[in-house]
Amino acid sequence: QGCTQKYIVKNYFYYYLFKFSAALGEEIFYITFLPFTYWNIDHSVSRRMIIVWSIVMYIGQVSKDILKWPRPLSPPVVKLEMRTNAEYGMPSTHAMAATAISFSFFIATMNQYKYPFELGLAAAFVFSTLVCLSRLYTGMHTVLDVIGGALISAVLLVLLYPAWDTIDHLLLTSPFCPLFSIVVPLVLCYNYPKLDYYSPTRGDTTTILGATAGATVGFWLNNQFTASAHTGMSVQPGLPLASSTVVFVLARFFTGILVVLLTRWLMKSAVLGVLGYRYQFPMGDLQARRRLEVEVPYKFVTYSCVGLTATVLVPLLHQLLGLL
Protein backbone atom coordinates (compact mmCIF):
# COMPACT_ATOMS: atom_id res chain seq x y z
CA GLN A 1 0.00 0.00 0.00
CA GLY A 2 2.82 2.37 0.82
CA CYS A 3 4.24 1.95 -2.68
CA THR A 4 1.18 3.60 -4.21
CA GLN A 5 1.33 6.54 -1.83
CA LYS A 6 1.33 9.87 -3.68
CA TYR A 7 4.23 12.23 -3.24
CA ILE A 8 5.56 15.50 -4.59
CA VAL A 9 9.22 15.86 -5.56
CA LYS A 10 10.57 19.10 -4.12
CA ASN A 11 14.25 18.59 -4.84
CA TYR A 12 14.94 16.98 -8.19
CA PHE A 13 18.69 16.88 -7.61
CA TYR A 14 18.33 14.58 -4.59
CA TYR A 15 15.54 12.65 -6.26
CA TYR A 16 17.55 11.70 -9.36
CA LEU A 17 20.82 11.37 -7.47
CA PHE A 18 19.43 8.78 -5.07
CA LYS A 19 17.29 7.03 -7.66
CA PHE A 20 20.47 6.60 -9.70
CA SER A 21 22.43 5.56 -6.61
CA ALA A 22 19.80 2.93 -5.80
CA ALA A 23 20.29 1.45 -9.28
CA LEU A 24 23.98 0.88 -8.39
CA GLY A 25 22.82 -1.98 -6.18
CA GLU A 26 20.64 -3.69 -8.77
CA GLU A 27 21.02 -6.08 -11.71
CA ILE A 28 21.55 -3.33 -14.29
CA PHE A 29 24.74 -2.32 -12.48
CA TYR A 30 26.01 -5.85 -11.83
CA ILE A 31 25.49 -6.95 -15.41
CA THR A 32 27.45 -3.96 -16.76
CA PHE A 33 30.16 -3.07 -14.23
CA LEU A 34 31.38 -6.56 -13.31
CA PRO A 35 31.85 -7.66 -16.94
CA PHE A 36 33.41 -4.28 -17.75
CA THR A 37 36.15 -4.90 -15.19
CA TYR A 38 36.79 -8.34 -16.69
CA TRP A 39 36.99 -7.09 -20.28
CA ASN A 40 38.82 -3.82 -19.72
CA ILE A 41 40.64 -3.68 -16.39
CA ASP A 42 42.02 -6.89 -14.91
CA HIS A 43 40.93 -10.53 -14.76
CA SER A 44 42.21 -11.09 -11.23
CA VAL A 45 40.42 -7.99 -9.92
CA SER A 46 37.17 -9.09 -11.53
CA ARG A 47 37.45 -12.63 -10.16
CA ARG A 48 37.93 -11.39 -6.60
CA MET A 49 35.06 -8.93 -6.86
CA ILE A 50 32.65 -11.53 -8.20
CA ILE A 51 33.49 -14.11 -5.53
CA VAL A 52 33.21 -11.56 -2.69
CA TRP A 53 29.99 -10.15 -4.14
CA SER A 54 28.32 -13.57 -4.39
CA ILE A 55 29.27 -14.63 -0.86
CA VAL A 56 28.23 -11.31 0.67
CA MET A 57 24.91 -11.24 -1.22
CA TYR A 58 24.02 -14.83 -0.34
CA ILE A 59 24.62 -14.22 3.36
CA GLY A 60 22.68 -10.96 3.18
CA GLN A 61 19.67 -12.45 1.40
CA VAL A 62 19.49 -15.44 3.72
CA SER A 63 19.86 -13.21 6.78
CA LYS A 64 16.84 -11.20 5.66
CA ASP A 65 14.59 -14.22 5.50
CA ILE A 66 15.87 -15.63 8.79
CA LEU A 67 15.62 -12.40 10.79
CA LYS A 68 12.33 -11.30 9.15
CA TRP A 69 12.65 -7.68 10.20
CA PRO A 70 10.01 -5.61 8.40
CA ARG A 71 10.78 -2.66 6.19
CA PRO A 72 9.84 0.87 7.35
CA LEU A 73 6.11 1.49 7.63
CA SER A 74 4.43 3.59 4.97
CA PRO A 75 3.16 6.02 6.13
CA PRO A 76 5.08 7.73 7.67
CA VAL A 77 7.77 7.05 5.02
CA VAL A 78 7.05 7.25 1.30
CA LYS A 79 8.36 4.25 -0.65
CA LEU A 80 9.67 5.00 -4.12
CA GLU A 81 10.16 1.36 -5.15
CA MET A 82 7.66 -1.45 -5.53
CA ARG A 83 9.43 -4.70 -6.37
CA THR A 84 11.67 -5.01 -3.31
CA ASN A 85 8.91 -4.00 -0.89
CA ALA A 86 7.94 -7.67 -0.59
CA GLU A 87 11.34 -8.43 0.97
CA TYR A 88 12.34 -8.03 4.58
CA GLY A 89 14.59 -5.16 5.58
CA MET A 90 17.50 -6.22 7.76
CA PRO A 91 20.24 -6.19 6.51
CA SER A 92 20.22 -3.89 3.48
CA THR A 93 21.70 -5.95 0.66
CA HIS A 94 22.15 -2.76 -1.37
CA ALA A 95 24.45 -1.51 1.39
CA MET A 96 26.20 -4.88 1.55
CA ALA A 97 26.77 -5.09 -2.20
CA ALA A 98 27.94 -1.49 -2.49
CA THR A 99 30.41 -1.91 0.36
CA ALA A 100 31.67 -5.25 -0.94
CA ILE A 101 32.10 -4.18 -4.56
CA SER A 102 33.62 -0.75 -3.94
CA PHE A 103 36.09 -1.80 -1.25
CA SER A 104 37.04 -5.12 -2.85
CA PHE A 105 37.77 -3.21 -6.07
CA PHE A 106 39.85 -0.72 -4.10
CA ILE A 107 41.76 -3.41 -2.19
CA ALA A 108 42.38 -5.51 -5.32
CA THR A 109 43.69 -2.61 -7.39
CA MET A 110 45.65 -0.50 -4.91
CA ASN A 111 48.80 -2.64 -5.27
CA GLN A 112 48.46 -3.18 -9.03
CA TYR A 113 47.74 0.32 -10.28
CA LYS A 114 49.38 3.65 -9.51
CA TYR A 115 46.87 6.05 -7.98
CA PRO A 116 46.72 7.94 -4.68
CA PHE A 117 45.64 5.70 -1.82
CA GLU A 118 43.46 8.46 -0.38
CA LEU A 119 41.69 8.93 -3.71
CA GLY A 120 40.81 5.24 -3.99
CA LEU A 121 39.63 5.07 -0.40
CA ALA A 122 37.51 8.21 -0.84
CA ALA A 123 35.95 6.87 -4.05
CA ALA A 124 35.00 3.57 -2.38
CA PHE A 125 33.56 5.44 0.60
CA VAL A 126 31.55 7.86 -1.56
CA PHE A 127 30.19 5.06 -3.75
CA SER A 128 29.02 2.93 -0.83
CA THR A 129 27.68 5.97 1.06
CA LEU A 130 25.58 7.12 -1.89
CA VAL A 131 24.01 3.68 -2.25
CA CYS A 132 23.35 3.48 1.50
CA LEU A 133 21.75 6.93 1.58
CA SER A 134 19.60 6.03 -1.43
CA ARG A 135 17.95 3.26 0.60
CA LEU A 136 16.93 5.79 3.23
CA TYR A 137 15.75 8.34 0.66
CA THR A 138 13.61 5.80 -1.22
CA GLY A 139 12.05 4.66 2.06
CA MET A 140 13.14 1.05 1.68
CA HIS A 141 15.34 0.73 4.77
CA THR A 142 15.91 2.10 8.23
CA VAL A 143 19.23 3.55 9.36
CA LEU A 144 19.84 0.34 11.33
CA ASP A 145 19.26 -1.80 8.20
CA VAL A 146 21.84 0.19 6.26
CA ILE A 147 24.45 0.32 9.02
CA GLY A 148 23.96 -3.39 9.72
CA GLY A 149 24.40 -4.27 6.03
CA ALA A 150 27.55 -2.18 5.66
CA LEU A 151 29.09 -3.60 8.86
CA ILE A 152 28.32 -7.21 7.92
CA SER A 153 29.88 -6.66 4.51
CA ALA A 154 32.96 -5.05 6.07
CA VAL A 155 33.41 -7.97 8.47
CA LEU A 156 33.08 -10.48 5.63
CA LEU A 157 35.67 -8.57 3.60
CA VAL A 158 38.10 -8.68 6.51
CA LEU A 159 37.53 -12.43 6.93
CA LEU A 160 37.79 -13.22 3.22
CA TYR A 161 40.79 -11.05 2.36
CA PRO A 162 43.49 -13.39 3.81
CA ALA A 163 42.04 -16.25 1.73
CA TRP A 164 41.67 -14.33 -1.55
CA ASP A 165 44.76 -15.73 -3.23
CA THR A 166 44.11 -19.29 -2.04
CA ILE A 167 40.48 -19.24 -3.22
CA ASP A 168 41.49 -17.73 -6.54
CA HIS A 169 44.22 -20.34 -7.08
CA LEU A 170 41.85 -23.22 -6.31
CA LEU A 171 39.12 -21.87 -8.60
CA LEU A 172 41.61 -21.63 -11.45
CA THR A 173 43.50 -24.89 -11.01
CA SER A 174 41.40 -27.45 -9.13
CA PRO A 175 39.95 -30.18 -11.36
CA PHE A 176 36.89 -30.16 -9.09
CA CYS A 177 36.17 -26.47 -9.66
CA PRO A 178 33.43 -26.87 -12.34
CA LEU A 179 31.57 -29.50 -10.30
CA PHE A 180 31.91 -27.51 -7.09
CA SER A 181 30.87 -24.26 -8.79
CA ILE A 182 27.63 -25.78 -10.07
CA VAL A 183 26.60 -28.23 -7.34
CA VAL A 184 27.16 -26.06 -4.25
CA PRO A 185 25.17 -23.03 -5.52
CA LEU A 186 22.35 -25.31 -6.70
CA VAL A 187 22.14 -26.99 -3.29
CA LEU A 188 22.05 -23.58 -1.61
CA CYS A 189 19.30 -22.37 -3.94
CA TYR A 190 17.09 -25.43 -3.48
CA ASN A 191 17.54 -25.25 0.30
CA TYR A 192 16.87 -21.54 0.58
CA PRO A 193 14.88 -20.57 3.74
CA LYS A 194 11.14 -20.98 3.17
CA LEU A 195 8.71 -18.12 3.78
CA ASP A 196 4.95 -18.04 4.35
CA TYR A 197 4.54 -15.87 1.25
CA TYR A 198 6.45 -15.28 -1.96
CA SER A 199 9.44 -12.97 -1.82
CA PRO A 200 11.84 -12.18 -4.68
CA THR A 201 14.84 -12.90 -2.43
CA ARG A 202 15.14 -16.56 -3.48
CA GLY A 203 14.96 -15.66 -7.16
CA ASP A 204 17.49 -12.85 -6.77
CA THR A 205 19.83 -15.13 -4.83
CA THR A 206 19.54 -17.79 -7.53
CA THR A 207 20.35 -15.17 -10.15
CA ILE A 208 23.50 -14.10 -8.29
CA LEU A 209 24.70 -17.63 -7.57
CA GLY A 210 23.92 -18.75 -11.12
CA ALA A 211 25.89 -15.88 -12.66
CA THR A 212 28.79 -16.58 -10.30
CA ALA A 213 28.70 -20.30 -11.10
CA GLY A 214 28.88 -19.63 -14.84
CA ALA A 215 31.62 -17.05 -14.43
CA THR A 216 33.66 -19.33 -12.17
CA VAL A 217 33.47 -22.17 -14.68
CA GLY A 218 34.54 -19.65 -17.30
CA PHE A 219 37.54 -18.60 -15.22
CA TRP A 220 38.57 -22.24 -14.89
CA LEU A 221 38.15 -22.94 -18.61
CA ASN A 222 40.18 -19.88 -19.55
CA ASN A 223 42.99 -20.97 -17.25
CA GLN A 224 42.95 -24.54 -18.58
CA PHE A 225 43.28 -23.30 -22.14
CA THR A 226 45.81 -20.64 -21.08
CA ALA A 227 43.71 -17.71 -22.21
CA SER A 228 45.73 -14.52 -22.17
CA ALA A 229 44.85 -12.44 -19.11
CA HIS A 230 43.96 -8.91 -20.09
CA THR A 231 45.54 -6.71 -17.45
CA GLY A 232 44.22 -3.42 -18.70
CA MET A 233 47.55 -1.64 -18.23
CA SER A 234 46.49 1.03 -20.72
CA VAL A 235 43.56 2.09 -18.57
CA GLN A 236 45.38 2.51 -15.29
CA PRO A 237 43.88 5.33 -13.24
CA GLY A 238 46.05 8.41 -13.32
CA LEU A 239 47.29 7.88 -16.89
CA PRO A 240 45.86 9.90 -19.78
CA LEU A 241 43.72 7.76 -22.06
CA ALA A 242 44.55 7.98 -25.73
CA SER A 243 41.57 8.33 -28.03
CA SER A 244 42.32 4.94 -29.58
CA THR A 245 42.30 3.31 -26.16
CA VAL A 246 38.92 4.83 -25.35
CA VAL A 247 37.54 3.52 -28.64
CA PHE A 248 38.80 -0.01 -27.89
CA VAL A 249 37.40 0.10 -24.34
CA LEU A 250 33.99 1.24 -25.55
CA ALA A 251 34.01 -1.26 -28.41
CA ARG A 252 34.81 -4.14 -26.05
CA PHE A 253 32.15 -3.00 -23.61
CA PHE A 254 29.27 -2.47 -26.04
CA THR A 255 30.05 -5.59 -28.04
CA GLY A 256 30.20 -7.64 -24.86
CA ILE A 257 27.04 -6.19 -23.34
CA LEU A 258 25.12 -6.79 -26.55
CA VAL A 259 26.16 -10.47 -26.53
CA VAL A 260 25.41 -10.83 -22.80
CA LEU A 261 21.93 -9.30 -23.11
CA LEU A 262 21.20 -11.42 -26.17
CA THR A 263 22.29 -14.54 -24.28
CA ARG A 264 20.07 -13.63 -21.34
CA TRP A 265 17.05 -13.09 -23.59
CA LEU A 266 17.58 -16.31 -25.54
CA MET A 267 18.18 -18.44 -22.45
CA LYS A 268 15.19 -17.01 -20.60
CA SER A 269 12.92 -17.89 -23.50
CA ALA A 270 14.44 -21.33 -24.06
CA VAL A 271 14.59 -22.43 -20.41
CA LEU A 272 11.14 -21.09 -19.59
CA GLY A 273 9.74 -22.83 -22.67
CA VAL A 274 11.24 -26.17 -21.60
CA LEU A 275 10.00 -25.80 -18.02
CA GLY A 276 6.57 -24.73 -19.22
CA TYR A 277 6.36 -27.87 -21.35
CA ARG A 278 7.63 -30.01 -18.46
CA TYR A 279 5.25 -28.65 -15.83
CA GLN A 280 2.37 -27.73 -18.15
CA PHE A 281 1.98 -23.98 -17.65
CA PRO A 282 1.88 -21.05 -20.10
CA MET A 283 4.97 -18.83 -20.26
CA GLY A 284 3.00 -15.86 -18.97
CA ASP A 285 1.86 -17.63 -15.78
CA LEU A 286 3.62 -15.60 -13.06
CA GLN A 287 2.46 -17.84 -10.22
CA ALA A 288 3.89 -20.94 -11.89
CA ARG A 289 7.21 -19.18 -12.43
CA ARG A 290 7.43 -18.52 -8.69
CA ARG A 291 7.32 -22.21 -7.80
CA LEU A 292 10.56 -23.69 -6.47
CA GLU A 293 10.84 -26.35 -9.17
CA VAL A 294 10.51 -23.66 -11.85
CA GLU A 295 12.16 -20.54 -10.44
CA VAL A 296 15.46 -22.12 -9.41
CA PRO A 297 16.33 -23.94 -12.67
CA TYR A 298 14.92 -21.08 -14.75
CA LYS A 299 17.11 -18.42 -13.18
CA PHE A 300 20.12 -20.60 -12.41
CA VAL A 301 20.51 -21.96 -15.93
CA THR A 302 19.79 -18.58 -17.53
CA TYR A 303 22.32 -16.63 -15.50
CA SER A 304 24.97 -19.32 -15.41
CA CYS A 305 24.93 -19.11 -19.20
CA VAL A 306 25.21 -15.33 -18.90
CA GLY A 307 28.25 -15.69 -16.63
CA LEU A 308 29.87 -18.25 -18.92
CA THR A 309 29.21 -16.10 -21.98
CA ALA A 310 30.72 -13.00 -20.34
CA THR A 311 33.93 -14.78 -19.33
CA VAL A 312 34.52 -17.15 -22.27
CA LEU A 313 32.55 -16.32 -25.40
CA VAL A 314 32.82 -12.54 -25.25
CA PRO A 315 36.65 -12.53 -24.85
CA LEU A 316 36.87 -14.95 -27.78
CA LEU A 317 34.70 -12.60 -29.83
CA HIS A 318 36.90 -9.67 -28.81
CA GLN A 319 39.92 -11.63 -30.03
CA LEU A 320 38.26 -12.47 -33.35
CA LEU A 321 37.31 -8.82 -33.87
CA GLY A 322 40.81 -7.64 -32.97
CA LEU A 323 39.63 -5.71 -29.91
CA LEU A 324 42.20 -7.08 -27.43
Task: Note the pLDDT tens digit of each residue in 119-153.
Answer: 888 989 999 998 888 888 888 888 888 999 999 99
CB 211 within 8 A of CB 306: yes
* pLDDT given at position 153: 92
Q: How many Å apart are CA 185 and CA 278, to the nearest integer? A: 23
Which candidate in 141, 169, 230, 318 is catalytic? 141
Question: With 50 as the cut, is the pLDDT of residue 233 above it?
Answer: no
Indicate the range of 6-15, 119-128, 213-222 predicted with least confidence.
6-15
Q: How many Å apart are CA 17 and CA 288, to the nearest integer? A: 37
CB 29 within 8 A of CB 97: no
Q: How many Å apart are CA 236 and CA 230, to the nearest integer? A: 12
Question: With 80 as the cut, is the pLDDT of residue 73 above it?
Answer: no
Under 8 Å CB-to-CB from 184, ≥6 apart: which residues?
Answer: none
* pLDDT given at position 235: 45
Indicate the range of 11-15, 25-29, 83-87, 260-264 predicted with least confidence.
83-87
CB 69 within 8 A of CB 89: yes
Q: Is 141 a catalytic residue?
A: yes
Per-residue confidence band for 239, with pLDDT thresholds at 50, 70 and 90 = very low
Which candidate in 94, 169, 230, 318 is catalytic? 94
Q: Is 169 a catalytic residue?
A: no
pTM of the model: 0.83
